[in-house]
Structure 1
Amino acid sequence: MTNTALPDPDRPTPARVLLRGGTIHSPEEPFATAMLVEDGAVAWLGSDSAADVAHADSVDEIVELRGALVTPAFVDAHVHLTSTGLAVAGLDLHDTPSLTAALDRIAAFAATVPAGETVIGQGWDESRWPERRAPSLAELDRAVGGRPAYLSRADVHSALASSALIAAVPDVRGAVGFDESGQLRQQAHHLVRKAAFSMLSPTVRGELQAAALRRAAELGIGALHECGGPDIGGEADFLQVLASGLAGIGPEVFGYWGEFGGAEKAAFLGAVGAGGDLFLDGAIGSHTACLAHAYADKDTLGAAYASAEEVAAHVVECTQAGMQAGFHAIGDAAMSALLDGFDAAAAKVGRDALYRIGHRVEHAEMIPDGGIQRLLDFGIVASVQPAFDAAWGGPDGMYVERLGAQRAQAMNPFAALQKAGVPLAFGSDAPVTPLDPWGTVRAAAFHQTPEHRISVRAAFAAHTRGGWRALGAAATATGVLRVGEPATFAVWDVAPQDVVVQAADERLSAWSTDPRSGVPGLPDLTPGRPLPTAARTVVRGRTVFDSGRLAEG
């Protein structure tokens, strides 16, 4: 979709808007077909006939839904906005089918970059290519024409750096994770990433952030959790992301700043928490997730970036400051370090104090025995990414290659987390996987390991209400359409007959309840069916995306 469909952020927002003739997804008013929005909040829910009698003559705008579905807007609980903009508007290698195709795309993009400027892109994944290898340094240098270049792997925990970029970062050769091949991990990766992003001008960063926000709005996303930090984009980028979120062109943006001992700085920068991608380890695809037992395809345990003692100190600092802590943990050894750190923190400030704050863990893909109960005991929110399983799970996926079938099958146990009562919040980790909220809900409901599936309703709740709950005290909404709540919602082109109640059990993949029961339905997400598309996205009463379809006919 083009930006011509996007509304002007300077256009005045109508004070009173009536939507009627559709299906309103509201557990509190399950039979509602109409909704009144007044001054940015939901003011009334009910039937079309009641709306016509009570409100039709006193509104500034009437929106005829023509059977469309209205739901709370999605919350993506883990994004990197500038990097997502690079994927949306720049060099994206996610869908390249081979090494040769990737090099061709890199060369074509580099040809558009002025000599001496930096080529930045992301998304390559050698595990999906027939060549089964990353580009060599010589191949990369030829493709970018000698320019500085930073190309992050799909998981953004390793990257290719060209000779010109390596030469511009004098300390990188002595850093942990440096390799003469130009494929860099750990500290070396962080150094070149920081250097590459510092070469982006504020103007370019702003354009990338705007592109990402507009794309999110097109997908029915009403709020984003930005996960920033010194090794991700730096302070200037983080501040500009927060400013972009206030520009009114897309979703609200809530920022997390990931730096040990950084609670005071996080507050100073305007972050809602001192966490997000505060790395305890790396990623499985880059062999840097920290494991209790070696990888199946490489003799390494991965990388441990922090100890349980460091986790404890950070949790204590944040708890005493009344601020959320949060950590990136993917491997089972990293999760053990996190949980041991919370044990130590609880001994100092008390378990109840931790529980009241509601600290976070990002990813939580590999959970050691007993770990789910410990997450629950500490009140930790699990901010997870179902698209990871869709991308790399299954019997032939990258996880099996890296870990072996037994460990891979235990990954991303959403059903066990939900059953235990661990709060779930869904996100994309964009650009690691694309912004795709309905695809995320489908990935959780049709997890490639059936025992980990949850219902579409539970997955939708994790991607709406769960995202607001994950903000803790910073939450300004609940993610439910009810009177008094912010009018943050999306209108979907879904026919009424395609709104059903879906179970996680494959034997009951799509079944409709008796309409008299009042169970709110959702689009049929059975694999193979097209995903819903947004006709309009509204954030606190302001339209941030409009396809124009509601005004047709």
Structure 2
Amino acid sequence: MSTPGAGRRRRHGATLYLGGSIYSRAEPFATAMLVADGTIAWLGPDAAAAGHRGDVDEVVYLAGALLAPAFVDAHVHTTATGMADVGLDLAGARSLADVLAAVRVGAPRASGGPIVGFGWDERAWSHPLRPPRRDELDQAAGGAVVFLDRADAHGSAVSTALLEAYPHIRDRAGYDDSGWLTGPAHHAARAAVYDALPGDLRREVQRSVRAQAAAQGIGSMHEMGGSSLAGARDLVALLDLAAAEPGPQVLGYWADGAHRSSLPDPRIRGRAGDLFADGTMGSHTAALREDYSDLPGARGRCEVTAGAVRDHVLACSGAGLQAGYHVIGDEAIDTVLAGFDEAADTIGEAAVRAGHHRLEHVELVRPEHIGVMARLGLTASVQPRFDEFWGGPEGMYAARLGGRWRLMNPLAAMQAAGVGVALGSDSPVTPLGPWQAVQAAAWHHEPAHRLSVRAAFAAHTRGGWRAAGQLAGGVLAVGETATFAVWQAGELQVQAPDARVSAWSTDPRSGTPGLPDLTPGADPPVCLRTVVAGHVVHDRADILDREGSR
């Protein structure tokens, strides 16, 4: 604990927080925190805070609330998330007829623009269990451009008008004349639709999603851009918005292996993110060693070679950029890791580790994969709610993989081996919701893969900063940037669902910081305030008690 008042000077933008539970390993018994000039200036007990009260702009009375590091969502698609809110929400559709009815209703609202929908999943439908055909979409939409993104964002149903507007889509792998698109054809259609969005609509949805994230205690978002995603215009617009307006920090990634072309913006951290090594389980496009259980003869397709991965890693390492891939199936993971190993043979393992490279999703992981990832310092950027939505013996993964579903998302094994783990949502594939992601990691369908709540929280806070190659961030300690959230959370506890937490760590005398009760069915915490680098970006003024001090 630092000494209050020592060497004191008038601080600009200073706020004193009192009477809370401060989640700090540096000061585990702290109940008060001082923020000044965008950094944490002091931590300690309320009784020692009196010397700061006259020197701050605001005093906030936490009344027992939890003050903890803000979350980092390590995998987000901001504009797609916003469009899922303002377009057609098809997640509740229970039949093909439901989808077509939604398109008919949405056509007049589109006012001649594209009809964009998201979230449909034919597995939940009554028969027929198939995507909408383009002739059906043409009729329902009155000939308008229609793009309906499947729930996993790796397949889409499109109309004839879209194909006529963007004829190059017909020449891409994954094109089917029915209007069902996967792989490169789907990516090309999505990129075309999002690149053509009006600028005012793009700003509106990006601003809305940043506000939603702030209201959920998210202080930083890793935006996954790319030429086969929403395009350069979209990523640059989001980076500009984040620089101009308060809100969660945005770290941009560009999924493009064309190293002879320049990056669309110097602020981009890496040629990483959703650079597709394969597709998804839901669309039967993840690359597998063995056939899909529900589609004999099909194994998906790996979109890269080990040599291409090697060259990509070497180019990124030489340019000081993070490299990475979207990789889900075990065959694709084999190929990507072989490429990283070949790069290490060229420049040395230490140089590869220094690049802080990352793999997105990395789901069907074999034990031998984990050792390679740990040895080369690769971060696993994972989405625990994938297991919540699609795991278990009756889930989609079991339908696609049979007994191999138990290998999916081995979070505990990766973390135990020393692989850096960062949590994210892949929104809009799963919703923004960091506490829900922590809960999903702690209650994984496969008990052996579960993390403790504390470990999952660390992966969703500090782990996100590490995934971006930043060693600072994600902790509350004097001198750290003041990026945190305040939560109304009820009684705090040290919690693990399977008794792997030692008894000493649950004893209050150990000083182990407590977290909200995340038992399934418990009320989720409510975010009262989010602060990013000292700036308040979300505030529940109706709940938090505060006063001006000077």
Letter in 2 for 1:381: T
Residue 71 of structure 2 is aligned to residue 74 of structure 1? yes
* Among 249, 253, 259, the residue aligned to 1:252: 249
Give the C-alpha shift of residue 141 in structure 1.
Answer: 2.3
- Equivalence for 1:233: 230
RMSD value, Cα: 2.0
> Which residue is equivalent to 1:118?
114
Corresponding residue of 1:482: 477
**Closer/same/farther in 2, CA of residues 234 and 102 from structure 1, 3 Å limit:** same
Q: CA deviation at 1:476?
A: 7.5
Aligned sequence identity (%): 50
Question: Does 1:371 find its partner at 2:369?
Answer: yes
Out of 160, 164, 169, which is 1:167 matched to? 164
CA contact (8 A) 2:61 2:545 kept: no
- Which residue of the partner structure matches residue 536 of structure 2? 543
Distance 1:227 1:200, change over 3 A: same
Hey, what's the Cα distance between the residues in 2 that align with 1:283 and 1:438? 25
Report how far residue 172 of structure 1 moved: 2.2
Q: Is the 8 A contact 1:65 1:550 kept in 2?
A: no
CA contact (8 A) 1:214 1:249 kept: no
What secondary structure, in the 3-state scheme, does the structure 2 residue paired with 1:266 have?
coil
Aligned-partner Cα distance in 2 for 1:308–1:448: 32
Partner of 1:403, secondary structure, is helix
Answer yes or no: is 1:417 the counterpart of 2:410: no
Counterpart in the other structure of 1:127: 123
1:272-311 per-position Cα deviation (integer Å, ceiling 9, x unaligned): 1111111100111011111111111123111221111100
Give deviations 1:26-76, integer Å, cap 9, x for gaps: 011111111110011111111111112x11111100111111111100000
Paired position in structure 2 for 1:208:
205
Comparing 120-129 with 477-486, greater Cα deviation is found at: 120-129
Give the 3-state SS of the residue equivalent to 2:284 in structure 1: coil
Following the alignment from structure 2 to structure 1, what is the Cα–Cα distance between the partners of residues 339 and 313? 8
Q: Are 1:521 and 2:518 matched, yes or no?
A: no
- Alignment counterpart, residue 278 of structure 1, candidates 267, 270, 275: 275
SS in 1 for 2:220: strand
2:437 is aligned to 440
Give how far 1:552 is off: 5.6
Kindly indicate whether the alpha-carbon contact (under 8 Å) linking 1:361 and 1:380 is maintained by their aligned counterparts in 2: yes
For residues 49-448 of structure 1, what are the structure 2 equivalents within 5 Å? 49-52=47-50, 54-115=51-112, 117-131=113-127, 132-262=129-259, 265-266=262-263, 268-298=265-295, 299-404=297-402, 406-448=403-445
Alpha-carbon distance change, 310 to 386 in structure 1, aligned in 2, over 3 angstroms: same
Report the CA distance shift for 1:88/1:41 in structure 2 as closer, same or farther (over 3 A).
farther
Structure 1 gap ranges (5+):
1-12
Shift of the 521–177 alpha-carbon distance from structure 1 to 2, 3 Å rule, reads same
Go from structure 1 to structure 2 and tell me whether the alpha carbon gap of 1:144 and 1:173 turns closer, same or farther (over 3 Å shift): same
Deviation at 1:183, TM superposition (A): 1.1
- SS state of the match for residue 111, structure 1? helix
Q: CA deviation at 1:93?
A: 2.0
How far off is 1:264 after superposition?
A: 6.5
Distance across 2 between alignment mates of 1:536 and 1:97: 38
Of 490, 493, 500, the match for 2:493: 500
1:328 is paired with a residue whose SS is strand
Deviation readout 1:111-140 (Å, 9 max, x if unpaired): 21102x111221111122233322232332
- Measure, in 2, the Cα distance between the counterparts of 1:306 and 1:445: 33
What is the rounded CA distance, in whole Å, between the counterparts of 2:324 and 2:53 in structure 1? 47
**Farther-moved stretch of structure 1 (380-389 vs 543-552):** 543-552
Correspondence 1:37 to 2:35: yes
SS in 2 for 1:550: coil
Q: How far, CA to CA, are the matches of 1:21 and 1:549 in structure 2? A: 18
Quote the residue 1:27 is aligned against: 25
- The Cα shift of 1:233 comes to 1.0
How far is 1:397 from its partner? Answer: 0.6
Mapped partners of 1:484, 1:208: distance in 2: 35
User: Structure 1 residues 191, 109: closer, same or farther in 2, change over 3 A?
Assistant: same
Q: Are the counterparts in 1 of residues 22 and 67 from structure 2 also a CA contact under 8 Å?
A: yes
Q: Which amino acid aligns with 2:478?
A: V
| Residues 381 and 251 of structure 1: CA distance in aligned 2, closer, same or farther (over 3 Å) | same
CA distance in 1: counterparts of 2:487 and 2:93, whole angstroms: 30
Correspondence for 2:8 = none
* Cα-to-partner distance string for 1:319-355 (whole Å, 9 max, x where unaligned): 1112210111000010000111011111111111001
- Return 99-108 or 454-463, whichever deviates more: 99-108
SS at match of 2:41: strand
What is the letter of the counterpart of residue 388 of structure 2? A
> Could you tell me how far apart the structure 1 residues matched to 2:274 and 2:100 are?
30
Q: Distance in 2 between matches of 1:478 and 1:198?
A: 33
Deviation at 1:508, TM superposition (A): 7.6
Task: Please tell me the residue identity of whatever aligns with 1:38.
Answer: A
String of CA shifts for 1:390-449, please: whole Å, max 9, x gaps.
011011111111111x11111000011011110000001111111110000000000011
For these two proteins, the number of residue pairs brought into alignment is: 534
How far apart, in 2, do the equivalents of 1:358 and 1:326 lie?
A: 9
Give structure 2 stretches of 5+ with no counterpart. Answer: 1-10
User: Residue 463 of structure 2 aligns to a residue in which SS?
Assistant: helix
CA contact (8 A) 2:75 2:224 kept: yes
* Structure 2 Cα separation of the partners of residues 143 and 249 of structure 1: 41
Aligned counterpart, 2:7? none
Paired residue type of 2:164: A
Aligned partners of 1:95 and 1:469: how far apart in 2? Answer: 36
Helix, strand or coil: the match of 1:487? coil
Structure-2 change in CA distance of 1:437 and 1:135 (3 Å): same
User: Structure 1 residue 377: deviation in Å?
Assistant: 0.8
Residue deviations 1:134-163 (CA, integer Å, cap 9, x gap)? 223233223323210111111111111111
Superposed displacement of residue 529, structure 1: 0.7
Q: Is the 8 A contact 2:35 2:534 kept in 1?
A: yes
User: Relative to 1, partners in 2 of residues 1:269 and 1:100: Cα closer, same or farther, differing over 3 Å?
Assistant: farther
Distance in 2, Cα, partners of 1:249 & 1:149: 34
- Structure 2 distance, partners of 1:466, 1:507, is 21
Structure 2 contact 504–510 (Cα < 8 Å) conserved: no
2:4 match:
none
> In 2, Cα distance between the equivalents of 1:325 and 1:502?
35
Tell me if structure 2 keeps the 8 A contact 1:501–1:510.
no
Q: Please say which of residues 328-337 and 540-549 is displaced more in the overlay.
A: 540-549
Partners of 2:414 and 2:471 lie apart in 1 by: 25
- Post-superposition shift, 1:513? 2.2
Q: 1:530 to 1:273 in 2, by over 3 A?
A: same
Write the distance in 1 (CA, Å) between the matches of 2:93 and 2:22: 40
Q: Which amino acid aligns with 2:342?
A: A
Pair 1:530 & 2:526 matched: no
Residue equivalent to 1:453: 450
1:222-241 deviations in Å (ceiling 9; x for gaps) = 00001111000111111111
CA distance in structure 2 between the aligned counterparts of 1:70 and 1:468, rounded to whole angstroms: 19
SS of equivalent to 2:519: coil
Partner of 1:8: none
